[in-house]
Amino acid sequence: MTTPTIRPATPADIPAIAGIYAHAVLHGTASWELEPPGEAEMLRRYEAILAGSYPYLAADRNGEVLGYAYAGAYRPRPAYRTTVENSIYIAPAAQGLGVGGLLLEALMSACTERGFRQMIAVIGDGTGASVGSRRLHEKAGFRLIGIAEKVGFKHGRWLDQMLMQKELGEGASTPPSF
């Protein structure tokens, strides 16, 4: 496979992004939504991420979006302002080919450049079907910080939620600049 280009996502990517996400919603446990949102809602979410000055990236190979990743606020309170939560979704045909690692590395760099200090991965079913996401984050240096057991119900079964964390840039060694 030709190495994909990691670039900022654009509104033109939303149909492909919505399709990738719809598959994840309908067939996986990475997202705990039960019905996939349409393109208009995905565009609204994309615009909200950008309006918050967070990165939203796409993995592109010859004009085909293979996956996407973005960071957003971990929690809404001001004291959390230097902590982001990441989201990464890969097209089914591109899973297991290293696209997720490229996106995560670029996302961590983009967040570090923006001054964010901590990144949290909230992995749905990280002890079950989403074990690939857990391994992806472990490989990137994230550490397990907790598991909330049986807090979601999807596809006829209870799901655990795993939290992983990685320091970015100066981490907690200095006060934030914003």
Give the start-to-end residue ranges of the domains of the chain.
Answer: 5-167
Answer whether residue 43 shows pLDDT above 70: yes
Statement: the pTM of the whole predicted model exceeds 0.85: yes
Model confidence pLDDT, tens digit, residues 58-98: 999 999 999 999 999 999 999 999 999 999 999 999 999 99
| Cα 71 versus chain centre, distance | 6
CB atoms within 10 A of CB 58: 23
Band (178; pLDDT cuts 50, 70, 90): confident
CB atoms within 10 A of CB 17: 24
Closest CA to 74 of 152, 168, 174: 168
Mean pLDDT of all residues belonging to the chain: 95
The CATH architecture one would assign to domain 5-167 is: 3-Layer(aba) Sandwich (3.40)
Angstrom distances, CA of residue 118 to CA of 14, 23, 124, 168: 27, 29, 19, 5
Answer whether residue 35 shows pLDDT above 90: yes
